[in-house]
Structure formats: structure tokens, C-alpha cells
Amino acid sequence: MVNPLPVILTDSLGAVVDTVLDRSVVLGYTKIGSRLRGLWWPADPAPDAMAGKRVVVTGATAGIGAAMAASFARLGATVHLLGRDPGRVARSAATVRAGVAGADVVEEVCDVADLAAVRSWTASLSARVDALDGLVHNAGVMPKQRAETAQGHEVQLACHVLGPHLMTDTLSGLLRAADESAVVFMSSGGMYSAPVKHWTLDELESRDGPYNGVRVYARTKRMQVLLADAWANRLSDSGIRVYSTHPGWVETPGVAEALPVFRRVTRPLLRDAADGADTAVWLVATRPESGPGHFWHDRAQRPTTFGWERGVDPQRAAAFLDEVSALALRSTVE
Ligand SMILES: NC(=O)c1ccc[n+]([C@@H]2O[C@H](COP(=O)([O-])OP(=O)(O)OC[C@H]3O[C@@H](n4cnc5c(N)ncnc54)[C@H](OP(=O)(O)O)[C@@H]3O)[C@@H](O)[C@H]2O)c1
């Protein structure tokens, strides 16, 4: 959507309203937030912004990821649509091809939470393509019971943190080869409820008490923000920009399954999946300059902490990246 309001509103009143929406949570995270901000937020990418470019979207068989795949295809990208189930990948790819004329969709099967599968899939992709312009870590889960992956990691840690980390690392050569590329971690506003700390191994693996899927979700979504920040710093001298984002509250199969009561109460105000995908697509297509934190929502950078908490210490973020690297490496190279 092109900004229809005068620049003065964009710069002053817009900024105030935007902050009020953000801090109010309910207004900002629902479709009220995107409808209002759409009046002043930065312009859409050009219709052919991704022509000749290649992007990977994980968790693209449903919800926000499926909508994101269609949005990238509409902008002209070759979309590597990734999911863990071949049948669901084929169905989602067929939907994108049916909905977007000329869509170039490559079906990719990989369980992001299985680190051995991530290693073998990234090796396969590296043998098939020369460069990668965009990588969106969108796959997400919120199980009620604690479960472990093939490598013995708690599932949310593996799906939200370890797998995306390993994928970023092993695809960094392809991302560098594109000259100007972008990596996006799809976090959640729920991450604000989980402060940054030095997590013990038991906390990382959710062995620190009775399992609470919502609490672990918030914690691993916080870890994604920290990880994106650390990767952004580590790659700052390359052409790769790294961001995290949150989509707001979005009507998806995942929300229906994991949070049925929340969905029933908020349903009239939930965003649709394309709205939830908007900022991730916009980040990859436009690669905006980004400052410390690198956390975005509705096409604007947002604070990574609220209130009395200070912003995240970059040294803590760098140390966390090292811890995650060691954990991921230990499980796949033995
Ligand atoms: N919806 C919201 O309001 C909301 C709010 C904040 C953040 N988010 C984040 O946005 C992202 C998408 O959420 P959504 O609501 O669209 O969820 P969804 O409807 O549950 O879709 C999740 C997608 O991730 C895939 N997936 C899960 N585990 C995977 C794995 N191990 N390997 C590969 N793919 C896997 C699922 O594949 P299957 O089809 O195989 O299950 C599905 O395609 C998530 O990261 C979520 O945390 C969503």
C-alpha cells in the first residue's frame, strides 16, 4: 500500500500513534494495528522486487508461511517452499501455483527440528543453487507436552532455535553469494514475557520443571530475537542482513490448535495470514537498514524489551550464539 498521507503526519503524529499502538498490544497486534499503520508505513516493494531472486520459506505448508510463499511468488521470486511432510508441501505448492500466475515454486522437504535433516537438506540445496537472496525461519510449534527430537533436544528449542541457527550457518555461503540477502526469524510478541538471561542447559532443554508449552514458546521466541541480533552483528561486514519480526495476532491453524480460547475471544480482530506475513516479506524484499536489536513489526523496528528492562547487551547475544553453535554442533558432528 502506498502511503497516502502527507509526510508531516508520517513523521510526527504517525510516530506517536504507532508507539501507542505498539505499547497497547491489543490494538497494535490485531488487524487494527496493520490497518492504521498501513496509512503511513513505508511503501510496498515494487511489484517485481523479487524477480530473479530466490527465497526459502520454512513452515510454508500452513498459515503465515503458506501466505508468505504466495506473497514472494507474487513479487517474482523463485520460492523454495519447505515443510516436513511431502504431501502437505505438494498441496501448499499447488495452491501457490494455482493462485499466482507464473509462480516458480520448488518443493522442499525437511524437518527443521531434526538437525541431521537440516544438515543434509542444506547440503542438497547448496549443490542445486548458486545463491540465496532470502531465508525466512517461519516454522513454529507450541506443543502441550514436552517432546524430544531425534537428537534428544526439546522440540521448541530445536524448531525455533537450533534448526534455524544451523540452517543460517550452513546456508551462509549461498547467502553471501547473493551479494545482498536477508535472513528473517519469525518470532512472537510473546517473547516480551520472557526476559533475557543466561539459560542453563536444563532451562534451554526445558528440563527445569513441569513443562508449560506457552512458557517454553515465549522463551524460545525470545531466544530467536537474541539469535537474530547476534547473527546480524556477526554478519555486519557481509551483504547479509538479519532481522527478527513478529506477525501480530494472526488467524492460522496453529492458533486454532494451540490457543482455541484465545482464538474464540479475539477472532473478529485477528489478522489474516497475508497480513501476518507482510513484514517478513517486506524485510526480505526491501532490506531496510536496521539498528541494534533488529526486531521488527509492521514495517518498523521495535524495542526488544519494555519498561524497566534495558536493551539487550550485544555481548550476551554473541555469547548466546556461541552456546547455540556448540549445542547444534555437538548433536550433529559426533
Ligand atoms: N499466528 C500467530 O498469531 C502468531 C503469532 C506470533 C508468532 N507466530 C509465529 O509465526 C510462525 C507461523 O505461525 P502460524 O500461526 O502460521 O503456525 P501454523 O499454522 O501452525 O503453521 C506452522 C507451520 O510450521 C510448520 N512446521 C512446524 N514444525 C516444523 C518442523 N519441525 N519442520 C518444518 N516445518 C514445521 C508446520 O508444518 P506442518 O504442516 O507439517 O505442521 C506449518 O507449516 C511461527 O513461527 C509462529 O510462532 C504466529
The CATH number that domain 49-332 falls under is 3.40.50.720
User: How many percent of the chain have pLDDT more than 90?
Assistant: 86
Cα–Cα distance, 222 to 192 (Å, whole number) = 7
Our mutation pick for probing the ligand 1 site, out of 25, 34, 252, counting the most ligand atoms within 8 A of Cβ, is 252
**Separation of 49 CA from ligand 1 center, angstroms?**
26
Confidence of residue 4 (pLDDT cuts 50, 70, 90): very low
Domain ranges of the chain: 1-41, 49-332
At residue 34, does pLDDT exceed 60? yes
The pLDDT of residue 311: 72
Which atom of ligand 1 lies nearest, measured to the CA of 139?
24
At residue 309, does pLDDT exceed 70? no
Tens-place pLDDT, residues 240-298? 999 999 999 999 999 999 999 999 999 999 999 999 999 999 999 999 999 999 999 99
At residue 7, does pLDDT exceed 80? no
The pLDDT of residue 16: 74
**Separation of 141 CA from ligand 1 center, angstroms?**
6
Which atom of ligand 1 lies nearest, measured to the CA of 251?
1
Confidence of residue 195 (pLDDT cuts 50, 70, 90): very high
Q: What is the mean pLDDT of residues 315-330?
A: 93
Residues in contact with ligand 1 by the CB-under-6-Å rule are 58-59, 61-65, 83-85, 88, 111-113, 138-141, 159, 186, 188, 246-247, 249-250, 252-255, 276
Tens-place pLDDT, residues 69-123? 999 999 999 999 999 999 999 999 999 999 999 999 999 999 999 999 999 999 9
Nearest CA, atom 1, ligand 1? 250
